[in-house]
Amino acid sequence: PCPSGSTCVQENGAASCTPWVCTPGVSCDGNAVVTCSTSGLTVTATTPCGADSVCVAGSCIPLLCEPGTTVCHQGAIATCNATGLGVTDPVPCGSGTYCKATQGVAPLCAPMVCTPGEALCSGDQPATCKPDGSGPGVLAAPCSESGEVCSGGQCVALVCDPLQPVYCKDNA
């Protein structure tokens, strides 16, 4: 039998132990997924991971963050770890605040702009406040599409036409 890390190969009537060129199965080589034959003698495929992912245990895993940067993560300000797959030293934002990340600006804890789960209007569109209180989540269709207006987070019928003057007649 051949030692570990090699395969028995018969050539010209003679058998010899040939060292593997790769580990059989799927693995990583740098930041690329490598598929190796069951004999360990042939790389059958190499697939580079993109710039926004890293090879881990034979799979391209999306980066959570850019290594070494300061980020918002689960309601806390934290430092992205060296692999980009996690964070270290999280500092939670206090009650009534959320972690606000703005392009080109360091994350900060900002006051909530709405109560999480609260029904609200974003312009003419009903919405629900995001779980972190940072603002409206998924917006519904504009109320104006159905001839209504947004009030209290829902579409309601117009009581009067805001473009028409309102007059009192006969004290009514």
pLDDT, tens digit (0-9, with 9 covering 90-100), for 145-160: 999 999 999 999 987 7
Region 37-49: mean pLDDT is: 94
Task: State pTM to two decimals.
Answer: 0.64
Confidence of residue 170 (pLDDT cuts 50, 70, 90): low
The 10s digit of each residue's pLDDT in 103-148 is 889 999 999 999 999 999 999 999 999 999 999 999 999 999 999 9
Residue 129 DSSP one-character state: B
Q: Which of 117, 124, 156, 157 is nearest to 139 (CA)?
A: 124
Under the banding of pLDDT at 50, 70 and 90, the label for residue 13 is confident
Q: 113 burial class (0-12, 13-18, 19+ CB within 10 angstroms)?
A: middle
Let me know the angle formed at the C-alpha of 60 by 58 and 66, rounded to the nearest 5 degrees.
Answer: 130
Q: Residue 104 has what pLDDT?
A: 85
